[in-house]
Amino acid sequence: MTKSKDDFLEKNKKIELLDSTATLLFPETCSLNSKDLNTLEVTFSKERYPVLGINIQCFDNPKLNSETKIKRYLIDDEEINFRLERKGDVFCLNYEVAVENEKLVIYKLLSILKPRNFRLLRFAITWPDSKQAKKVIEPILAKLPKIIEKVKFNSQRTKYDELASLDYNLSNARLVNNDFWNVIKLLLPLKWRVNLSKNDEYAQIIMDLKGNFSFLVEKFFVNTTLKSKNNEINNDKLVENLIKEITKEVNITNAKLKKSDENNFLFYFIASEIDVNDSTKVNKSKIWYRLKVLEDKIVIISFVFELISDIELENELYLEKLNQIIGAAEILV
């Protein structure tokens, strides 16, 4: 195909998504706005309308192991008039549909990084189904195939491909019972390692093979006596007062207290503190307290996970798993 003079003269700007997982080229006249880590919005004129939405997702899926399954995954509705092409390890799906009084064009690019890593890049643009809008959208629709053709996927695994594998492994991990001190039972992934302290007062759970990520579990008992006839109110006040005491010298945010039944409580928050070796650095940890009020004492189990990764998504993946584990933990006393 012979390129036109305009193709050679048109200047482009380069955008790299997710640590160069995908590289895109846009006409220099376009305006780009990053909505979040995975989402980009592109406009082609000063009117800022219509908007081309772009989203990228990295994921692991060993079940997408044939071309038939991949096509089925990409195609939302086999009744629509779609176009599907494959160039090497990249599938490209394109279709247009009418939704009420609007039209929608979708492009999906699926990059396969063998054996089971995938990158899905999705382009979507909508406009009113009218003659006036048609004049605006036609030049944009003419540019879209050229933008799609220039997309390049990284041939190597990036950090976000690694995080996709982590997400899959955490979601599908085989869980085993772990009984700590006959006080609390946790369902932990089989591959996580449990190290008990010499005095058996706390445990460190190693969450990855390199030992970079871990969390601490520790037990406490607070003696108390309930004298009021209204135990439910007493329990609430006892826990609230205890929480105030243990957090009074801690800089906390996003605090939340949940009560699952009369005696069981879950309190969690983000704690921030200045690094002892670098005053410009703030260290953050997620801390959970599982509490159970008994007749003569309060049982407290604390969980501390330091948010050590510079990549927010990596911290979030471990936090999501820990939220599930801690929320489902069974207090045995």
Q: Has residue 2 got a pLDDT over 60?
A: no
User: Does residue 282 belong to any structural domain of this protein?
Assistant: yes
- Domain assignment present for residue 203? The answer is yes
Same domain (yes/no): 62, 128:
yes
Residues 204 and 60 in one domain: no
Contact 184, 220 (CB under 8 A): no
Residues 139 and 266 in one domain: no
Residues 96 and 187 in one domain: no
Compute the distance between CA of residue 6 and CA of residue 265 in angstroms, rounded to an integer: 66
Average pLDDT along the chain: 91
Domain termination site, one of 121, 156, 191? 156
**CATH number of the domain where residue 109 is located:** 3.40.1000.10
Instruction: Mark whether 216 and 101 lie in a shared domain.
Output: no
Between 204 and 129, the more confident residue is: 204
Of 156, 184, 213, the domain-final residue = 156
Q: Residue 237 — very low, low, confident or very high, per pLDDT cuts 50/70/90? A: confident
Q: Are 332 and 183 contacting, i.e. CB atoms less than 8 angstroms apart? A: yes
Give yes or no: residues 99 and 225 share one domain.
Answer: no
Do both 292 and 227 map to the same domain?
Answer: yes
Q: At what angle do helices 312-328 and 159-171 cross, to 10 degrees?
A: 10
Could you read off the pLDDT of 243-297 as tens digits, one per residue? 999 999 899 999 999 988 778 999 999 999 998 888 888 999 999 999 999 988 9
Is residue 209 located within the same domain as residue 289? yes
User: What percentage of the chain exceeds 90 in pLDDT?
Assistant: 73
Our count of domains for the chain comes to 2
Asked whether residue 1 carries a pLDDT value surpassing 50, the answer given is: no
Listing DSSP states for 82-101 in one string gives EEEEEETTEEEEEEEEEETT
Domain match, 121 and 236 both: no
List, for residues 162-211, the tens digit of each pLDDT value: 999 999 999 999 999 999 999 999 999 999 999 998 888 899 999 999 99
User: What is the average pLDDT across 139-155?
Assistant: 95
Same domain for 314 and 222, yes or no, is yes
Binned at pLDDT 50, 70 and 90, residue 8 comes out as: very low
Q: What is the pLDDT of residues 12-51, one digit of tens each?
A: 899 999 989 999 999 998 999 999 999 999 999 887 789 9
The answer as to whether 166 is a domain residue is: no
Q: Give the domain extent around 325.
A: 173-331
Residue 294 domain-assigned?
Answer: yes
143 lies in the same domain as 260: no
Looking at the fold, whether 119 and 208 belong to one and the same domain comes out as no
pTM: 0.87
Is 49 inside a domain boundary? yes
